[in-house]
């Protein structure tokens, strides 16, 4: 399983964020659950990229999100007025092999 990267703007800051392919779509992974005793990492939540304006990139990242994303959405709290714009799944049943000591 491959982990991609997406350039995202949160507030006034630009960040890179892990992105995975799940059920035929790409999803942002704002946070991973990783414990020492486990041999895998689990996304805490995922945010669907297909409902957001983005583009593929051939540079250091795989995708670029064209609009800022609210931090609340990445924290799993979609404001009611934005409910149709974001698809967020909490704790999906997805496991990735650990990538070392780096925690997100």
List the chain pLDDT tens, one digit each, 104 residues.
Answer: 789 999 999 989 999 999 999 999 999 999 998 766 678 889 999 999 999 999 999 889 999 999 999 999 999 999 899 888 999 999 999 998 887 644 44
In a domain, 63, yes or no: yes
In a domain, 70, yes or no: yes
In a domain, 98, yes or no: no
pTM: 0.87
> Into how many domains does the chain fold?
1
Helix or strand run (H / E) with residue 73: helix 71-74
Contact indicator for 28, 46 with CB cutoff of 8 Å: yes
What lies within 8 Å, CB to CB, of 47 at 6+ separation is 27, 28, 30, 69, 73, 74, 86, 87, 88
In a domain, 11, yes or no: yes
């Amino acid at each position: 399983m491959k982990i991609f990267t997406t350039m995202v703007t949160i507030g006034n800051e630009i960040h890179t964020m892990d992105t995975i392919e799940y059920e035929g779509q790409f999803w942002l992974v704002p946070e991973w659950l990783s414990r020492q005793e486990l041999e895998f990492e689990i996304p805490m939540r995922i945010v669907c990229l297909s409902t957001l304006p983005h583009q593929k990139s051939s540079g250091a990242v795989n995708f670029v999100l064209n609009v800022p994303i609210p931090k609340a959405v990445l924290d799993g709290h979609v404001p009611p007025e934005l409910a149709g714009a974001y698809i967020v799944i909490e704790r999906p049943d997805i496991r990735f092999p650990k990538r070392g000591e780096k925690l997100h």
